[in-house]
Amino acid sequence: MSDLPRKAVVRTAKLAALPLGFAGRTALGLGKRIGGRPAEMIATELQQRTAEQLFATLGQLKGGAMKFGQALSVFESALPEEIAGPYRAALTKLQEAAPPLPSATVHAVLAQRLGEDWRELFAEFDDKPSAAASIGQVHRAVWHDGREVAVKVQYPGAGEALLSDLAQLGRFARLLGPLIPGMDVKPLITELRDRVSEELDYGLEAAAQRTFAAEFADDPDVVVPAVVHQGDEVLVTEWMEGVPLSEVISGGSPEERDRAGQLLARFLFSGTARTGLLHADPHPGNFRLLTGHAPDGPPEEWRLGVLDFGTVDRLPDGLPPTIGTSLRMTLDGRADAVYELLCEEGFIKDSVDLEPDAVLDYLLPIIEPAQAEEFTFTRGWMRNQAARIADPRSPAHQLGKQLNLPPAYLLIHRVTLSTIGVLCQLGATVRLRDELTTWLPGFVQPAPAAEPAPIPTQSIRDASPDAETGTGTGSPIGAATDEEDAEETSA
């Protein structure tokens, strides 16, 4: 392969082959079944071939196709094991590697973006990429000052490829149903497409990474590599060793899984509270487990390395307090209060009339991890939740169709679900409630306010010129005038 496949007609044909290929193999399988081969053997063979085709196509195309595959790999925990099994290995590959671009193409990009003398910036540069992602690949190098660095090079034509892929995937999202049973992929594709411009802008990514790196510079739990140099389509950051989270998922010890899960949950909530930014690409390829100087050291010393800040949600005030408040009230069983808050925030539209207790019953199983002191996330638990909501015959499915997700919560919702998906892949036991208590606004009930001291009658008279006559126009204590309402609204 000499370059990133850019022609829309070529990419469209390759993507269209995914559902068509699945249909062809299904027909072939039916023929074999009629010929006497066991149905289970045929189904396994079909799923394995489909997984291989999925990885080969999405990996070669990179761009939006690969990004779509990475997003899907996080959600495999929700699929039945007999379906998820054949896809797991293939999709997990997309979290760490893909077919690389040739050296000549990489060198051309570096010469164009860093100058013809780009080699002088590096004491060493490894032409073989250490990782390949959806819009760029990473090379290990040594900066001219001796620091080990990661050089992220954007694929030529990545922007065009991203838009082309996601537009095409959106057109036949319904046809992808057989590839990802039980999952509605169209909203996922739409949200990915909305983030394209930010993903391609390495200037925005560098700014976000600098913010996180500065905030977590001396943190005992989280490590963010510093930005060394940033140019158009090239980003140089400090190199970070560590065990990729995908390897912890596939073969980590229980201690590694639990520690990685706890730190992942901590970063999800603390990162936004501390930086005003939400890291919005939580697939395992973007995380490392760092064991420090002693690989066999105690788990409490292990830290979480975080990579790739190309997609962030800007939340200067942190996560909306509505999330924490509604979560706390749900745990307390306050059905009417939860219902009222969801209506105010637009989760339940004015045209919809639901029973508050039914809404509470819908939410409680989902937030089970926040109820206990510690909770073990498993694929089985995730599958049960997905099945409960996806089954058209279940009350949860019927109620879920009537709920609304306001635009301001779309990315927060996807990031939270993705993180839970990774926790289930890890099979981690996590003290989630501790992280919510520490970092989630509104989750902790405020202490009752102290009784205010009585205000002398004379003070009230002094504050209102017409108090003695009873004809004053002052507002009652605690109520805002129209002008005050206007000021608060404009603020």
pLDDT in tens, 235-280: 999 999 999 998 999 899 999 999 999 999 999 999 999 999 999 9
- Rounded (5°) CA angle 77-79-81: 90
CA distances from 455 to 451, 463, 466, 475 (A): 12, 11, 18, 16
CB atoms within 10 A of CB 432: 27
DSSP 104-127: HHHHHHHHHHH-TTGGGGEEEE-S
Structural domains in the chain plus CATH codes: 8-99+158-198 (no CATH), 103-154+201-314 (1.10.510.10), 321-439 (no CATH)
Per-residue pLDDT of 64-107, as tens digits, reads: 555 566 555 555 555 555 555 555 555 555 544 455 778 998 99
The structure tokens 């939860």 sit at 338
Contact present, 99 and 60 (Cβ < 8 Å): yes
Mean pLDDT comparison of 107-111, 190-194, 429-433, 446-450, highest-scoring range: 429-433
Contact present, 122 and 87 (Cβ < 8 Å): no
CA distances from 467 to 108, 417, 458, 480, 481 (A): 81, 57, 10, 19, 18
Indicate if the alpha-carbon torsion angle 181, 186, 187, 188 is positive or negative.
positive
C-alpha count within 13 angstroms, C-beta hemisphere, residue 60: 13
Identify the CA nearest to 284 among candidates 310, 264, 262, 313: 264
Contact present, 426 and 377 (Cβ < 8 Å): yes
DSSP 433-468: HHHHHHH-TTTSPPPPPPPPPPPPHHHHHHH-TTTT
- One-letter amino acid at 232 equals D
Contact present, 14 and 5 (Cβ < 8 Å): yes
Average of pLDDT values for 306-332? Answer: 94
pLDDT of residue 390: 74
pLDDT at 437 over 50: yes
CA distance 356 to 333: 10
The structure tokens 């909203």 sit at 187
Terminal-residue alpha carbon distance, the chain:
55
At residue 42 the predicted structure's pLDDT band, cuts being 50, 70 and 90, is very low
Identify the CA nearest to 375 among candidates 435, 324, 332: 435
Tokens linked to 280: 């919005």
pLDDT of residue 315: 95
CA distance 215 to 220: 12
Identify the CA nearest to 421 among candidates 217, 218, 264: 264
- One-letter amino acid at 280 equals A
The residues annotated with a catalytic role in the active site are 281
345: helix, strand or coil? helix
pLDDT at 54 over 60: no
Per-residue pLDDT of 359-407, as tens digits, reads: 999 999 999 999 999 999 998 898 888 888 877 788 888 898 899 888 7
